[in-house]
Amino acid sequence: MKTLITIKRIPHTAATKQELFGLIGEFCASTKVREALGGPISSDENHIWFVAVSPSDEVIGFVAVVPQKGGKAKMVHLYIAIEGKWSAGIQKRLVEACEQEAKDMQDVELHTVDYSAREAWYKIYGWQASGHRGRFATYSKRLDG
């Protein structure tokens, strides 16, 4: 039997705040998650979140996209709460959701900061590393090609 993962799109609004933080609030307060992401999770009305949820409503990953000026958007807080063979597929679906959201906002470039160790994963899906600082790298992807 195949387990179906749902990707929920949740814009951060006054109307959706309770749903959003009901899903990711535990992760926002977690030292383990903060260490895994390299910093704290933040959100405001510019964030559009994508939350991967199991059939039993367990959060298994999330990410947010934030529109910026000049036809760009930023992907932030990519976190996968599970390990193993399914984690890369869930990560891919969450990143693709951000890419599509940015395209829908008429953005032509999406960028993010993540660990340098993940560079090979990003390259597989068309992202380019554009700078390194310590253990982090900046990655970007053109969306108009």
DSSP track, 18-37? HHHHHHHHHHHT-HHHHHHH
For residue 85, give both structure tokens. 């063979």
How far apart CA 2 and CA 54 sit, in angstroms, is 11
Strands 6-11 and 48-53: antiparallel
**Does any domain span residue 25?**
yes
pLDDT surpassing 60 at residue 1 = no
Domain residue limits at 86:
6-107
In sequence order, the 6+-apart residues with CB closer than 8 A to the CB of 121 are: 88, 91
**Does any domain span residue 135?**
no
**Does any domain span residue 86?**
yes
Average pLDDT of the segment spanning 28-37: 94
Determine the pLDDT at residue 144. 82
**Does any domain span residue 91?**
yes
**Does any domain span residue 31?**
yes
**Does any domain span residue 83?**
yes
pLDDT surpassing 90 at residue 129 = yes
Alpha-helix residue ranges (DSSP H) falling in the chain: 17-28, 31-37, 87-104, 119-124
pLDDT in tens, 5-28: 999 999 999 999 999 999 999 999
**Does any domain span residue 1?**
no
Question: Total domain count for the chain?
Answer: 1
For residues 52 and 59, the answer to whether their CB atoms sit within 8 Å is yes
**Does any domain span residue 47?**
yes
- CATH number (domain holding residue 21): 3.40.630.30
